[in-house]
Structure 1
Amino acid sequence: MTLGALAFLNPWLLLALGTLPIIYWLLRTVPPRPQQLTFPPTRILVGLENREKTPAKSPWWLLLIRLLAAALVILALAEPILNPERNAPLAGEGPVAIVVDNGWASAPDWTARQAMVDRMISTAESQSRPVVIVPTAFPAQTFEAKIEAPAQARATARAMMPQPFAPTRNAAAEALSKTLTAADAKGVSVIWLSDGVDHKGETTTFAEMMNGLATSGTFTVVDDPTGSAPRALVGNVGTGGKLEARVLRTGTNGPANGILHAYSTRGAQLGSAQFTFNSGASETKATFELPLELRNQITRIAIADSRSAGAVSLLDARSQWQRVGLISSETSEQAQPLLAPFYYIEKALAPTAEIVKPRDANLAAGIDQALAQNVSILIFADIGTLTPEAEDQVRTWIEKGGVLVRFAGPRLEKGGDDLLPVPLRIGGRTLGGALSWSTPQKLAPFDENSLFAGLTIPNDVVVNRQVLADPARLTPETQVWARLADGTPLVTADRRGDGMIVLFHVTGNSDWSNLPISGLFVELLKRVSTLGRLGGSSETTDAQTSANGEEVASDTSTLAPLQTLDGFGVLTPPPPASRGVEVAKFADTTASLEHPPGYYGSRGSPRAINIIRSNDTLAPITSLPTGAAHRSYENAEAEPMKPWLLAAAFALILADMIAVLLLQSGGRLFGRSGPAVARSVVAMAVIATSLAATFHAAPAFAQAGVQAPRQNSATDDAKAMAATSKVTLGYVVTGDAQTDDTSRIGLAGLCRVLALRTAVTPGDPMPVDVVKDELAFYPVLYWPVLDSTPTLPEETLAKIDAYMKQGGMIVFDTRDQGRGMPAGLGFPGSESSALQRILGKLDIPRLEPVPQNHVLTKSFYLLRSFPGRWDSGQLWVEAGGVASAESNREARRADGVSTILITSNDFAAAWALDANGRPLYPTVPGGEGQREMAFRTGINIVMHALTGNYKADQVHVPALLERLGQ
């Protein structure tokens, strides 16, 4: 039964309210109080008259208290519920179809969406109805909706995760319709958990299809969780080369503001910018005020308070603002403006680069001035040869990553120098000359592996004169990015060290061709400018980097995925469904299952795909069928009133007891019976207060999903002192007594061995509740992962993330010999494992098995394997987290300490010793030799956490001794 915002789960019990008149009749008379007399001699009783009168009826206020207490008990037993619409039964008797928007816009409030799905499944379960879970963003190429029992549907819902692309709602509707039609389902109830964005303009069609499927049931739309529109952004180059970001929302909300953070490749925060939305505005801009050198290091922009792939914008070389030096053989005084060698080059580069023009007419001095200003690109116009000193200087600069772009001219017709991508034939090719065309030559279409692939060539662009590459000396390493219609190279390039040399075989002005005065010229130079300081184009590399860091051969016409964003906006290895993108189609590629947002191409110069592109907007959902019902997500669950009513009833009953005691004492608290009455009153008041506090506090904390705050601060201080007085290892309590006992005994055994073999004097290991306790006291946390491990609250995940980023180390131990490792983190396994539930929302780096020269292999003992009770599992650490002598990878964190280790070998069981030092668990299969290696593994882990990468630095000792002459 529902009465507005109040519903009763047992409404038939309200009939008991009809007994209140009977209770009134029973309570209206109070039995006379027994007369208490002292019996002296019988004579004294003669003529004794009792002056104290006992009323024949109860006082009206006492009667009211008793009636109210009875009414409250009856109401409590009827189990009233506030906000009954959240638990209201769904109309219909067929399957309950729960359609969930799980695209990028759903990620920020994914926890609330999961809670709503669970509530809908519980409602269906109470009505004995099957459930169909349908995501609108498919995680695989094919999807088939299944009608399941509520228990199986819960598992399906838990496995569903946000995807880093927009949903395809119509495809989801077709899949659901196909399943319901095949099952001949009737009375279907459809619940659509919307993300509030009209992706691809298909919302109207989708909603009509959903409403059609719920002909004899209900179609319900669940709106945005928090009432705030999803946010997204895209980064671009603004006026003067400043980095700007367009921040988008659906524009259905009032004023709002936020902060953007800019990050480098290593994850360091380089800058911040604030943005503000006016009321009803759907777009705003934010600008990062940073020096050019710092601004060009930014590879990622993210909205601070929004975890989704749409709230992240990845930047590549195309968004960088390059500093370009222009060196010419002519002085500006001698050159007419429109005929000057750099006039059209300057006009083409001005919107995307900072121009540096040395004032010194001396060629060598001009090069010195340009390089002193840290240019990333040098452009030479008709410079034939350089002095040996200048040539060596430029060659060294190129090999360190610089890009030299040369334009031809009469001086280069003499052959040029060694700073050319291809040797030239002496003498040029001109219209009407010895090596001539009968007509001016047009440009041939660009090859797919060209830097210019995908650009449209105007029909009126022709070439009248050019310098010729010597065909006999063209090598496979020479890249030809543009050709004339007869196949003659027009733009060539060659790698030199980490840099590149590019040659345009025509002049930079209109003397030899009308190319410089065309719009194509601007696009050509824009593409070339992306090479600055990045070692060449991503399209022209000979190899790609696979997900495990190895170089593999690839088709240069296709850019393979390098790193991609997951639904929460975290860069991860590419998923199995991802595919490469053709170079010619890259600019028009949108984020999808096959092409998720992320970096593509080579690790040295990747290209980025983002969810939001430069001209995109976010459209709100405005049109829904007339019969659709609406619900909204709520932060709190439906609130039962039974505890509150029972608490009030108990309080009234105690008040009644106190009133009766006072009436019996005649209102005299200080007479002969006064002290006893007063003590009874005080005791009952204390009981009433305790009961009221219990009924008040327990539901509140239960609804919020947290425990009541601790009151004993002295105990906390004592624990903090004990944890910080010595090196203390912590173990995460799981709630399973045997597991927690094994962790405690195992760490105690490891501490005993540490004290005997090293200079570390550890304290006793301490239990740690990750929800309540402070984590910063423990350099190492050992975390045994159980299958029953629940999903942690957002506040706890944030605390764990901060602990790891501030230098703490967590050793996750699944204890299952490698069978429970989750996917998507760099190692194989099931996405629904307990470890995945813990790590799924943590900002952790890519993981890899311990490399051969990792510091963990030599922090105290020299190790090649890391066994525990089992020896078949792998130990995983942060990928690229430690520098070594043979590796060029740099430490991701200070001191190179891996903040996360994951094993399945059950370390604690191998370390567990009894009071006499005897092992408690067998080690399989290696026996006591394996246990010794397990202890060495534990010692290496602790020493690595305490000392960082000092062992890695020991490889430099021979070089230092040699330099010192020893």
Structure 2
Amino acid sequence: MSLGALTFLSPWLLASLAALPIIYWLLRTVPPSPRQVTFPPTRILVGLENKDKTPAASPWWLTLIRLLAAALFIFALADPVMNPTREAALKGTGPIAIVVDNGWSSAAHWDQRKRMIDRLITDAEGQSRAVVIVPTAPTSKGATAQIEAPSDARSTAAALMPQPFAPDRLAAANTLAAAVEGAAGGTSVVWLSDDIDHDGNAAAAAAKLRELATDGTLAVVEDGGNREPLGLNAGIGIQSGRLEARILRPNGDGTRDGFVHAISTRGQSLAEASFRFLPGQTELVVPFDLPLELRNQIGRVEIAGERAAGAVSLIDARSQWHRVALISGESREQAQPLLAPLYYIEKALAPSAELIRPKGSNLVAGIQEALSQNASVLMLADIGTLSGDAAHHVADWVEKGGVLVRFAGPRLENGGDELLPVPLRLGGRTLGGALSWSTPQKLGPIENQSPFAGLTVPPEVTVNRQVLADPAMLGPDVQVWARLEDGTPLVTERKLGQGRIILFHVTANTDWSNLPLSGLFVEMLRRIAALGTSVASGDASGSVTADNAVATAADMPAVLPPLQTLNGYGVLGPPPPTAQPVAAEKAHDLVPTLDHPPGYYGAGNAPRAINVLHTDSSLAPLPPLPSGTDRLNYSSESSQPLKPWLLLAALGLLFADMIAVILLRAGGFGGVRRRTQRPAGAALALAVIGAGAMLTVAPPQAFAQTSGASPAGAAVPRPQNPSVNQATDERAIEATAKVTLGYVLTGNAEVDEISRVGLDGLGRLLSVRTAIEPGRPLGINILTDEIAFYPVIYWPVLPDAQALPEDVLAKIDAYMKQGGLIVFDTRDYGLGLTGTGGPSEAALKRITGKLDMPRLEPVPENHVLTKAFYLLRNFPGRWDGGQLWVEALDNDDGPSRRARISDGVTSIIVTANDLASAWALDESGRPLYPTVGGGENQREMAFRTGVNIVMHALTGNYKADQVHVPALLERLGQ
């Protein structure tokens, strides 16, 4: 019997409610309370006998408590259930068959499935029905299902775990059919699905289950909402050339947000990218923009929070990028680039490798340039002979682990050199043509031990010319990776030290073969590029680190044993006993099973990753189910049996009744026969009844929401005083709202005030004479304040200035190297000294002694500072005569030239002329301090010095670039 969301499993017990009036008549009385009798000495035995034996009537609230307790007992015995949507799956009298999708897609919400299984077993136990549990992903070989008692079924269910491969539902349906064959009564089949049609057989499996549940009920439990499983496959994008994560979902209902993490082989998170599914989308591609060195350290890509093997994609050498240097000896590279050999190589490798094209035509210089950039693979197209320094550098590089790939051509037909896998015959071989009886040869099948194993050989690929290997020199150290149909080697390889030498016996363009036009050529080059390991030009050890060991894939065995495998939750660990080796030629497109779970296979230094999903995988939703199938979802798990809570509430009311009777017998409520009860008694009764009602109607989830915890289970952060952060933010906003000049606070109030009014006066002049409208100058605590907001910092140096801490020096050094300008003013020239060796010079050395200071020099005649805004020859302040020192501009064009780095802006200026005092003005614009030596004309030049310093810091070397304008105009004909 159902009443909305409430259902009674034993409704016939509700007939006991008719006995409530009798219970009321029986429970409306209470024993009489004891009488209080005066005990005078003269009446010891008189009047003590109470002849009134009629029990007094109980208070109305006590009778109500007893009636409620009786009613709750009756309701509890009727087995009420809140939200009983799952009970529809249990119709029938035979066994309850629980078919569980325990493939990789069930792992993310496995706890939910375990609770559902436990609930179904409990319901079967209440109905005295047997249970049979059938997993759709086998957990062991030769597994069978059997009908069990509910207690035994709990042990079977506890042993179930999600598997790291897709389920086989047809096999599970056949196993269930064999288990329930001959079972009496109608079988109820409950299919706990994962919402995915993995192999296209979901409809057939559902029809088979429908046949087994002819006399019972077939119910399918689905995830629904935004709880559908997600899949992931990561690899190099064909178009973008970046590492991309392809995220899949079976249905396009609603939106879905999340994050994808790229994790190194050491477990470090290297990158994070967000994704968002829009309604209707079932596939997303999320790229990772990482430097080459970081990208090659990625060992796995996974969806955050989706604990499933299908949400993890393992990365091996095939998905790593390598630096490939390309050098060609063909002279028509510039004339016909689309026919050049390197054009086809570039097109094949550009999406999956970082290509290096040395500048210039000098072979030795080109090889040195390529190797200096830590190329892992060097490809030479039609270079006949390597000799001298070039041969020595290449041989040394290969011995340290490099991969040398050479392509044949007219030059190589004349012989070759020592850096070939096998000696060649002179003249080569022509297949087809007017003067040949032979015809172009097709490619033969690729052998299993070749790194090209598993690649499909297109039948249209032919070879009409090649260089021939000397058959007598094909020893055991020479490997043939590809052959023609007649057995002639097409690709040969030989080890040299820790590296290898590979030769294509045809050209890299279409002159000798149409192989470069095929997809086979692309896959060949990508697999060869994956063989390389980073070799530092100056590293003589040639050792392979743990980070790039996976890239040294060399010997591809015919059989790849399992090294580490994923479990159903996507955790990498030792392979299970059921894991079997994989044939190398089948590893490329292997579908994981119980025998071959996903993970790493092969040699320890060159494993092959086998993932649940491949580049062409997709997740399809479940097809329409047979008619009469009940569709449920796991959210119905919120239904709760109310019997325990009703019994608890009834016991609570009985306990309250006992306390009330004790109080009544003790006279705690003012006597039994009083018709007017105290308000406290009524209040107590109402409180007890209210508590019982709450216990009756509130499911367990309601108490969790009133416990004071946050919805996610995290602690609610305490409010903090934001005054410090707010002040810092306000200062940053003020410093960046306008061009702001800063001055270092020295602790001397007078000097700090001079710095402030001096920069304020300079700012007013800048507003009048230039386009700059600076804000008010700000004082800087060099120890604590951020200095990156200020293009120019004025630093008055006092004689007692002390050395700075290491972290402050690092901050100043970073500021100067990133384009900032600091003006150190020792202010001591007016003391009669020469500007060198003044009293503040020692303090300046204490401040700057540990800085990474550039070399200083007096301002050169043509320095940008002399013409940034005004044309200046000297740079006075309050004093005139002190030398202005700036960063020295080196004449070389090397990368260490600091001026080039910061756009020609000197990072430091040192003066002793007390610039701030010359700039200081009062509110009316009148000077505060006299200039010594040149009067107001000197003050004007001091202001012009300040203007040039600010303009130089803001505009860089644009004035220096103007010297090229006449030459540019002349070239343009103007």
Does the alignment reach a TM-score above 0.5? yes
Q: Which residue of 2 aligns with 1:216?
A: 215
**Rounded Cα–Cα distance in structure 2 between residues aligned with 1:562 and 1:29:** 80
Query: Match of 1:359, SS?
Result: coil
Query: Match of 1:148, SS?
Result: coil
Q: Which residue of 1 aligns with 2:915?
A: none
**Rounded Cα–Cα distance in structure 2 between residues aligned with 1:79 and 1:178:** 35
1:414-451 residue CA offsets vs partner (Å, 9 max, x unmatched): 43222221122344334599997633333323223223
Q: Which residue of 2 aligns with 1:646?
A: 650
Deviation at 1:10, TM superposition (A): 6.0
**Rounded Cα–Cα distance in structure 2 between residues aligned with 1:201 and 1:649:** 58
Change in Cα spacing, 1:437 to 1:325, as seen in structure 2 (3 Å) is: farther
**Rounded Cα–Cα distance in structure 2 between residues aligned with 1:648 and 1:337:** 92
RMSD: 4.5
Q: Which residue of 2 aligns with 1:584?
A: 585
Question: Structure 1 residues 383-392 or 490-499, which shifts more?
Answer: 383-392
**Rounded Cα–Cα distance in structure 2 between residues aligned with 1:523 and 1:39:** 114
**Rounded Cα–Cα distance in structure 2 between residues aligned with 1:241 and 1:201:** 32
Matched AA of 1:263: I
The question of whether the paired residues in 2 share the 8 Å contact of 1:252 and 1:620 is answered with no
1:623-646 residue CA offsets vs partner (Å, 9 max, x unmatched): 112222344335657243325533
**Rounded Cα–Cα distance in structure 2 between residues aligned with 1:690 and 1:396:** 89
**Rounded Cα–Cα distance in structure 2 between residues aligned with 1:404 and 1:555:** 18
Q: Which residue of 2 aligns with 1:827?
A: none
1:696-728 residue CA offsets vs partner (Å, 9 max, x unmatched): 999949999xx999xxxxxxxxxxxxxxxxxxx
Change in Cα spacing, 1:460 to 1:295, as seen in structure 2 (3 Å) is: same
Q: Which residue of 1 aligns with 2:329?
A: 329
Alignment of 1:415-814 (within 5 A): 415-430=415-430, 438-533=438-533, 556-634=557-635, 638-640=640-642, 641-643=645-647, 645-646=649-650, 649=653, 653=657, 664=670, 700=700
Deviation at 1:92, TM superposition (A): 2.5
Change in Cα spacing, 1:204 to 1:130, as seen in structure 2 (3 Å) is: same
Query: Match of 2:374, SS?
Result: coil
**Rounded Cα–Cα distance in structure 1 between residues aligned with 2:125 and 2:651:** 31
Query: Match of 2:411, SS?
Result: helix
Matched AA of 2:372: A
Question: Structure 1 residues 616-625 or 555-564, which shifts more?
Answer: 555-564
Query: Match of 1:110, SS?
Result: helix
Query: Match of 1:147, SS?
Result: coil
**Rounded Cα–Cα distance in structure 2 between residues aligned with 1:697 and 1:4:** 14
Flag structure 2 segments of 5+ consecutive residues without an equivalent: 43-55, 536-549, 710-974
Change in Cα spacing, 1:353 to 1:307, as seen in structure 2 (3 Å) is: same
1:583-619 residue CA offsets vs partner (Å, 9 max, x unmatched): 3333332222233222222222222222212222212
**Rounded Cα–Cα distance in structure 1 between residues aligned with 2:198 and 2:281:** 18
The question of whether the paired residues in 1 share the 8 Å contact of 2:95 and 2:183 is answered with no
Deviation at 1:278, TM superposition (A): 1.2
Matched AA of 1:512: W
The question of whether the paired residues in 1 share the 8 Å contact of 2:557 and 2:602 is answered with no
1:885-933 residue CA offsets vs partner (Å, 9 max, x unmatched): xxxxxxxxxxxxxxxxxxxxxxxxxxxxxxxxxxxxxxxxxxxxxxxxx
The question of whether the paired residues in 1 share the 8 Å contact of 2:559 and 2:583 is answered with yes
1:320-354 residue CA offsets vs partner (Å, 9 max, x unmatched): 23321111224676542234231222222223322
The question of whether the paired residues in 2 share the 8 Å contact of 1:317 and 1:534 is answered with no
Deviation at 1:64, TM superposition (A): 5.1
Deviation at 1:378, TM superposition (A): 1.0
**Rounded Cα–Cα distance in structure 2 between residues aligned with 1:658 and 1:280:** 68
Query: Match of 1:134, SS?
Result: strand
Query: Match of 2:621, SS?
Result: coil
**Rounded Cα–Cα distance in structure 2 between residues aligned with 1:420 and 1:256:** 55
**Rounded Cα–Cα distance in structure 2 between residues aligned with 1:423 and 1:578:** 44
The question of whether the paired residues in 2 share the 8 Å contact of 1:86 and 1:638 is answered with no
1:658-681 residue CA offsets vs partner (Å, 9 max, x unmatched): 99778627999xxxx99xx98x99
Query: Match of 1:273, SS?
Result: strand
Q: Which residue of 1 aligns with 2:18?
A: 18
Deviation at 1:482, TM superposition (A): 1.7
Aligned residues: 672
Q: Which residue of 1 aligns with 2:251?
A: 251
Deviation at 1:366, TM superposition (A): 1.3
**Rounded Cα–Cα distance in structure 2 between residues aligned with 1:428 and 1:620:** 58
The question of whether the paired residues in 1 share the 8 Å contact of 2:61 and 2:685 is answered with no
Tell me the TM-score normalized by structure 2: 0.61
Q: Which residue of 1 aligns with 2:265?
A: 265
Q: Which residue of 2 aligns with 1:237?
A: 236
Deviation at 1:569, TM superposition (A): 1.2
Change in Cα spacing, 1:20 to 1:444, as seen in structure 2 (3 Å) is: closer
**Rounded Cα–Cα distance in structure 2 between residues aligned with 1:29 and 1:452:** 96
Q: Which residue of 2 aligns with 1:46?
A: none
Deviation at 1:101, TM superposition (A): 0.9
Query: Match of 2:594, SS?
Result: coil
Q: Which residue of 1 aligns with 2:892?
A: none
Query: Match of 1:342, SS?
Result: helix
Q: Which residue of 1 aligns with 2:192?
A: 193
Question: Structure 1 residues 589-598 or 68-77, which shifts more?
Answer: 68-77
Change in Cα spacing, 1:466 to 1:436, as seen in structure 2 (3 Å) is: farther
**Rounded Cα–Cα distance in structure 2 between residues aligned with 1:96 and 1:57:** 54
Q: Which residue of 1 aligns with 2:877?
A: none
Matched AA of 1:664: G
Q: What is the percentage of aligned positions where both structures have the same residue? A: 56
**Rounded Cα–Cα distance in structure 2 between residues aligned with 1:11 and 1:645:** 20
Change in Cα spacing, 1:62 to 1:174, as seen in structure 2 (3 Å) is: closer
Q: Which residue of 1 aligns with 2:718?
A: none
The question of whether the paired residues in 1 share the 8 Å contact of 2:450 and 2:556 is answered with no
Q: Which residue of 1 aligns with 2:860?
A: none
**Rounded Cα–Cα distance in structure 1 between residues aligned with 2:579 and 2:569:** 17
Change in Cα spacing, 1:331 to 1:94, as seen in structure 2 (3 Å) is: same
Alignment of 1:264-303 (within 5 A): 264-303=264-303
Change in Cα spacing, 1:457 to 1:659, as seen in structure 2 (3 Å) is: same
**Rounded Cα–Cα distance in structure 2 between residues aligned with 1:33 and 1:593:** 78
**Rounded Cα–Cα distance in structure 2 between residues aligned with 1:40 and 1:334:** 136
1:378-399 residue CA offsets vs partner (Å, 9 max, x unmatched): 1011223334433333233323
Deviation at 1:311, TM superposition (A): 0.7
The question of whether the paired residues in 2 share the 8 Å contact of 1:326 and 1:357 is answered with yes
Q: Which residue of 1 aligns with 2:202?
A: 203
Matched AA of 2:215: S
**Rounded Cα–Cα distance in structure 1 between residues aligned with 2:63 and 2:318:** 83
1:223-278 residue CA offsets vs partner (Å, 9 max, x unmatched): 22886101111112234422111111122542111111112223322211111111
The question of whether the paired residues in 1 share the 8 Å contact of 2:164 and 2:566 is answered with yes
Alignment of 1:163-178 (within 5 A): 163-178=163-178
Matched AA of 2:640: A
Q: Which residue of 2 aligns with 1:305?
A: 305
Q: Which residue of 2 aligns with 1:5?
A: 5
Q: Which residue of 2 aligns with 1:365?
A: 365
Query: Match of 2:620, SS?
Result: coil
**Rounded Cα–Cα distance in structure 1 between residues aligned with 2:702 and 2:61:** 36
Change in Cα spacing, 1:31 to 1:583, as seen in structure 2 (3 Å) is: closer
The question of whether the paired residues in 2 share the 8 Å contact of 1:651 and 1:688 is answered with no
Larger-gyration structure (1/2): 2
**Rounded Cα–Cα distance in structure 2 between residues aligned with 1:272 and 1:530:** 25
Change in Cα spacing, 1:13 to 1:133, as seen in structure 2 (3 Å) is: closer
Flag structure 1 segments of 5+ consecutive residues without an equivalent: 43-55, 536-548, 710-966
- Does 1:147 find its partner at 2:147? yes
**Rounded Cα–Cα distance in structure 1 between residues aligned with 2:38 and 2:144:** 91
Deviation at 1:364, TM superposition (A): 2.1
Change in Cα spacing, 1:651 to 1:610, as seen in structure 2 (3 Å) is: same
The question of whether the paired residues in 2 share the 8 Å contact of 1:421 and 1:492 is answered with yes
Matched AA of 2:385: T
- Does 1:228 find its partner at 2:227? yes
